Amino acid sequence: MNTTDFLQLPPELLFAFVLLFGLIFGSFVTMACHRIPLKQDLICKRSHCTACHHPLGVLDLIPVFSWVFSLGKCRHCKVPISFRYPLIELSVALGFCFIFASHGFSFLTLLLFLTWTCLITMVAIDICHDHIPKSLFATLLLLGLGYVFLTKAEPIPLLITIAIGLGMGTYIYASVRIIKKSNAFDYDDMYLIIISSLFMTTPAIMIAFLLLASVIGVVLWPIFRFVGHHGTSTPMPFSEALTASFLICITNADNVLKLLGMWMEQPLA
Ligand SMILES: [Zn+2]
């Protein structure tokens, strides 16, 4: 079957393929977000239960379904397995579906699949370890440069967009750190904003991306306080908000700009 035949399959079947592809990548992310902070091998080492160290078989490695059928427990030692594993797998898979729906089948789609995988790995590690490894920022930066190359972004709007990213990242970091004497916003979020500017490519969509991330952050904050049991000391989940805003802006740029234009009461290109 060649690419043309593949794309002529019914849309439901195409999305089922993309969903399955995303679940496989999601399963890789759950393993990577455990191993990257421990600097362990990502490919050769066999997966095992982190509690009883029993090697995982095929039945333990089916994304989402393994967790559901084992009722969220290890099949061997019955220690509970966090719900974040199926959540990560679903987040990657649904992100893939949104990207495929907006960009179709292309090199750009594959690059965005890798970008989304990298972003979810970053968020998952950030939630567990409060820190994002530099190797993931380097990967995201390379993917961003690839995106600029593939989309043939106009140099001047792109430079203005990067300048907005640099300016806003530094400004928000400095204002939270110095004025409020709080570390609710850290270097990781600043790097994420700056590298994301490579994907936004125009100043209007960059501003929309930041505004949308702020709104999502404010909405997510009480949920994270409730789930994380840290009460008022829970920092604002800004990397999560930036990642959600990233997906929305990348897959729905026109609608996001329309909304921003309505809010500013003037049409935006
Ligand atoms: Zn176990």
> For 228-253, what is each residue's pLDDT tens digit?
655 566 667 788 999 999 999 999 98
Ligand 1 centroid distance, CA of 51 (Å): 5
pLDDT, residue 259, reads 82
Ligand 1 centroid distance, CA of 181 (Å): 43
> Mean pLDDT across the stretch 206-219?
90
Ligand 1 centroid distance, CA of 61 (Å): 13
Ligand 1 centroid distance, CA of 82 (Å): 12
Ligand 1 centroid distance, CA of 187 (Å): 36
pLDDT, residue 82, reads 84
pLDDT, residue 171, reads 82
3-state percent breakdown (helix, strand, coil) of the chain, nearest 5: 70, 0, 25
Q: Which band of pLDDT confidence, cut at 50, 70 and 90, is reported for residue 110?
A: very high
Please report, for the chain, the start and end positions of each structural domain, with discontinuous segments joined by +.
153-269
Residue 34 CA to residue 215 CA, distance in Å, equals 30
> Contact, 238 vs 251, CB < 8 A?
no
CA-based torsion, 244, 217, 120, 134: positive or negative: positive
> Mean pLDDT across the stretch 17-29?
93
The answer for residues whose C-beta is within 8 angstroms of residue 130's C-beta and 6 or more apart is none
Ligand 1 centroid distance, CA of 46 (Å): 14
Backbone angles phi, psi at 5, to 5 degrees: -60, -45
pTM, two decimals, is: 0.87
Give tens-digit pLDDT for 150-164.
999 888 999 999 999
